[in-house]
A and B are shown apart, each in its own frame.
Chain A
Amino acid sequence: MRLCLFAAWILLASAFAAPARALDSKEIYQLNQDRVFQVRVLNRETGKKSSIGSGFIVGDGSRLATNYHVISQVILEPEVFYISFIGSDGQEGALKLLGLDVAHDLALLGAEHSLGEAIEMSPLPPRGAPIFAMGNPLDLGLSISVGTNGGILNQTDDSRILFSGSLNPGMSGGPTFNASGEAIGINVATARNDISFIVPSRFLSALIEKSSSDGYGAETDLKAEVARQVLAYESRYIEQLLESDWPNLDLRQFKLPGVISPTVRCWDNSAKLSAVALYKRYQIRCTNQNHVYLDEANSSVGRLLYEYYWLESEDLNAIQFYNLYESLNKDQVDAKLDRDMVSNFNCETWFVEVSSQQMKSNLCRREYVEYQGMSDVLFTAALTGHEDRGFFITLILTGVDYHATLPLIRKFLENTEWTP
């Protein structure tokens, strides 16, 4: 008898322990079609859509998760726009903003009543596993896109999953499911050709946890909140850069900061010279990938770009060489933003001693009009005092706290080493 009971227990346990059956795209669609909605930004006057995206039920059933960029217009012009949802069954209603995670492009919205059963969230499946993105592409109705998990991208500060599948405009904010029908992330962006990006669900879980059910009050300055979040993220990012050891890269007679973060990629940008050129030039350009979407007009901030340019010649005389050197040293960097968004740049010039060399340096700063405390910073430095060698650095940071960038510029210069 005991043996029979034990056998029955083993059978029962093994039945529960067996892995859940993998669902196909049709089953995932059917399971979630009433839990994924179109999120719309509507004009208060005309009642027509200004932008659309997707969202899905989370938390207690009355909340929708979507991307920040889907509803960012409401942050900029709350008196003109409001947020609403519409389901595949025609159910619709207004939504209020409960929480924002601008750095990870997430927003949490609240409906007046429960919209249905919340979608469960899950960590990322193994790399290569099939995943399914749901959303409303191009306002054509709910659809599902099948692809595979390409893993967490460290060049985006671990905030993006590579999805080898297709995402189209309108699918932003929709859920991405694993084969068990659990949300592993939120659709966010595409680089076309089946290269798309997902925000991991852990960031959404954190946002749900810290957001209040009442949302932001009418008195809340949402632009100030956006600026606060972006600046906090960028300052953390700069702190990480300052704390880490920077590998060097060699460019002729300079040892320079190389790939200073996993978020940075460096490329050789040296232009091909004609065979009759009497000089040589080398250019390396490094940029980060973890940009932060700010709004439709400003696009993204959080850009870090540094560029090195080396010039040398044995055949040009000093005047010729400096004419060439000066012509390559641009006197302006155009970052096209409208007068409503940013102030003018203010620039100042110094001659700075860097590794026993004298560098003519310019530092420029402008601020964002709508986002308090946020600045774009441009630093350039050109080597002087050599008749046949020239070198300049350009460093650009956007959407940052100006004073937080100065230690980074200092570290840059301290890690710039001249080797005679």
Chain B
Amino acid sequence: MDSLILEISTRGLHRYEPIDDEVTTLGRALDNDIILSDPTVAPHHLKIIRHQDGRLELINLAVVNPTRVGTRPIDTRELTRLPVDIEVGRVQPQLLARDNPVAETRPLAGNGRRGHLFGHPYWAILLALTCICVDALDFYLNSYNSFKWSDLLKYLLRETVLTIGAFVLALSILERLLVNRWEMKQMLTSVSLVYLMFAGASVIVVGLDYLLSASWPSTLFHFGWYLAIIPAAIAIYLIHISHIKRERSIVLALLIASPIAVPSILQSPELQALLDNFSSSASYHNRLSHLNWHLHDSVSIDRFIEQAKELEPGEIAD
């Protein structure tokens, strides 16, 4: 008779108990073969019997929270196939054959190569420093007064260090809760990459707004960033760094992104205007660019006035 393994998963931790004896008992009492210290487990909850002829039998011993196989409570149950999911109180062990196939080995972040972006702490530090440099440049380009180092340091501390630090800390805590691991260097690398991506995309979107004399590029970016790019980045991290299953990663990514995405989307003027169907403000296109690249042809005053005659008033709100 082949020996068996009982896999007991509790909050991301897995424990494997061999079932080699003819009779194995599970319960909270200390005289059991396998002790499950959970208050919903009875002192003597389940007996597993391996018969000489190869049959495998489960016998429920609990009155409160009786053992379930699948979703149904059992008194006795002869098992015909493995693996089998069992519920013992709120503990959900799985009975497996020793030759049960295992999933493919996941590569380390960066395939274990030290030179890879996710493989060494210096990449994390380099990317974080790049974020600081990008923000320092942004501060300089948006400063219209004489330069002061103290202003720059205050800005970087407030806008860059605190922002990146807060995200890394919050997401690392979540990661610890989800998979019982800290992946600080990969986390810092990922957050810095997303931060730089946002900075770069913002510049491109502003240019596109001016080029097209339209605000839809920035509107699309605003919604796309929070609804697609941020959840996608988190999901990729969870799949490839935390090695969580794809479907679960997508759900988790949406849940993790929602505290940032939902307020940002709800407070966006575009959505407010869409929901309210009315704005007393005249919102027009104010983008200006020193490059002055635009697809709109310039028109004479006469032509402008001719075309302006066709301008209709806005919609009347319901």
The chain A residues found within 8 Å of chain B, CB to CB, are: 274, 276-279, 313, 316-326, 329-339, 342-354, 358, 360-367, 369, 375, 378, 380, 382, 384-385, 387, 390, 402-403, 406-407, 409-410, 413-414
Contacts and interface: CB of A to CB of B under 8 A. Distances in A.
A327 B193 CA distance: 28
The contact size tier of chain B is: 35 or more
A339 B286 contact: no
Contacts of B284: 331-332, 347, 349, 362, 364, 378, 380
B289 A322 contact: yes
5 tightest Cβ-Cβ pairs between the two chains A and B: A344-B314, A331-B286, A362-B284, A345-B282, A346-B314
Contacts of A333: 281-282
B298 A342 contact: no
Contact of B313 (A316, A321, A343): A343
Given A320-B141, A343-B315, A345-B282, A350 B290 contact: no
A353 B286 contact: no
A31 B282 CA distance: 54
Interface in B270-298: 277-290, 292, 294, 296-298
16 contacts: A278-B146, A313-B144, A317-B141, A320-B140, A323-B142, A329-B288, A337-B280, A339-B280, A347-B282, A362-B284, A362-B286, A363-B308, A367-B313, A384-B289, A385-B292, A402-B313
A293 to B, nearest CB: 20
Nearest to B287: A326
Contact of A360 (B140, B288, B312): B288
Contacts of B281: 332-335, 345
A291 B301 CA distance: 29
Interface string B100-137: 00000000000000000000000000000000000000
A335 B282 contact: yes
B317 interface: yes
A343 B288 contact: no
Contact of B301 (A335, A352, A367): A352
B64 interface: no
A194 to B, nearest CB: 35
Contacts of A362: 284-286
Contact of B296 (A274, A326, A332, A351): A351
Given A344-B278, A362-B285, A323 B141 contact: yes
Contacts of B313: 343-346, 365-367, 375, 402
Contacts of B297: 351
Instruction: Give the dominant DSSP class at B's interface.
Output: loop
Contacts of B316: 343-344, 367, 369
A400 to B, nearest CB: 12
Contacts of B9: none
Contact of B314 (A345, A403, A414): A345
Nearest to A367: B313
Interface string B37-64: 0000000000000000000000000000
Contact of A384 (B143, B292, B304): B292
B301 A354 contact: yes
A361 B298 CA distance: 10
Given A366-B314, A384-B289, 9 more contacts: A278-B145, A319-B290, A346-B312, A349-B213, A351-B294, A361-B304, A362-B286, A364-B282, A390-B288
A40 B294 CA distance: 59
Given A319-B290, A347-B285, A364-B284, A410 B144 contact: no
B225 to A, nearest CB: 20
Given A321-B290, A331-B284, A365 B301 contact: no
Contacts of A337: 280
Instruction: Give the dominant DSSP class at A's interface.
Output: mixed
A332 B278 CA distance: 14
Contacts of B279: 344-345
Contacts of B141: 317, 319-320, 323
B305 A409 contact: yes
Contacts of A410: 301-302, 305
Given A331-B286, A366-B282, A352 B299 contact: yes
Contact of B311 (A324, A346, A353): A346
A351 B299 contact: yes
A409 B308 contact: yes
A348 B299 CA distance: 14
Nearest to A320: B141
B300 interface: yes
Contacts of B305: 406-407, 409-410
Contacts of B144: 277-279, 313, 316, 320, 323-324
Contacts of A354: 301
Contacts of A338: 280
A350 B299 contact: yes
A332 B283 contact: yes
Contacts of B142: 320, 323
A414 B282 contact: no
Contact of A331 (B146, B283, B298): B283
A369 B280 CA distance: 13
B296 A350 contact: yes
B285 A331 contact: yes
